[in-house]
């Protein structure tokens, strides 16, 4: 347990950030699963719309520091190759 005022505040901040980051990561996982399901079903229009939402969410997460910028670039390139190349 934190002993000083600043350590107590930092623990509060860390918990808030962890909860926010967890929500963002869960959203990304959900969108990735939707993208994979749309890709398996063969519905190109649905896959494209989900891919756009997924790439947008990944960009937003990278901008806020939840996901590393290079990891976001990797995901975007993979998604583009998977969906938009067809």
Domain boundary assignment for the chain = 27-84
| pTM for the predicted model, two decimal places | 0.85
Where does the chain have alpha helices with state H? 5-41, 44-63, 69-79
List Cα–Cα distances, 73 to 1, 9, 44, 56, 83, in angstroms: 38, 34, 22, 12, 15
Other Cβ atoms closer than 10 A to 63: 11
Would you place residue 84 in the very low, low, confident or very high pLDDT band (cuts 50, 70, 90)? confident
Whole-angstrom distance, CA of residue 78 vs CA of residue 73: 9
Burial of 83 (0-12, 13-18, 19+ CB in 10 A): buried
The average confidence (pLDDT) of the chain is 94
Confidence check: pLDDT of 55 > 90: yes
């Amino acid at each position: 347990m934190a002993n000083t005022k600043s350590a107590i505040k930092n623990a509060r901040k860390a918990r808030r950030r962890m909860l926010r980051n967890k929500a963002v990561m869960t959203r990304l996982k959900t969108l990735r699963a939707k993208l994979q399901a749309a890709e398996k079903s063969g519905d190109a229009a649905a896959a494209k719309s989900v891919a756009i939402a997924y790439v947008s969410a990944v960009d937003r997460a990278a901008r806020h520091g939840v996901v590393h910028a290079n990891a976001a670039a990797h995901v975007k390139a993979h998604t583009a190759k998977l969906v938009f190349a067809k």
